[in-house]
Amino acid sequence: MADHGWTSDAQYNCLVNLWNGESAWNFTATNQSSGAYGIPQSLPGSKMAKFGNDWRTNPVTQLKWGLWYIEQSYGNPCNAWSFWLSKSPHWY
């Protein structure tokens, strides 16, 4: 997270909450209705190949992609978490 400039406990807690809600940090989690995959629930999962062809089996690859995605889409984990909370069913 520090590589993205997120060093506060608040940002860390937002990320933990977000990915607890998305996948419970399970690197093989698959959303049965959408097909989203992995810890960050990438849709499609193959987007994570940007950080490695081992995206199906390597949680580190998934984490790198997920942090990149959050930065690109929301700026930081707390913004992503706030967005997630505003949706029902939840997604980000």
Q: What number is the average pLDDT over the span 28-53? A: 97
In terms of pTM, does the model score above 0.85? yes
51-85: pLDDT as tens digits = 999 999 999 999 999 999 999 999 999 999 999 99
Stated as kind and residue range, the H or E segment containing 60 is: helix 59-74
Banded pLDDT at 11 (limits 50, 70, 90): very high
Domain boundary assignment for the chain: 2-85
Residue 86: predicted pLDDT: 97
Sign of CA dihedral 9, 15, 16, 17: positive
Sign of CA dihedral 57, 61, 62, 65: negative
Residue 56: predicted pLDDT: 98
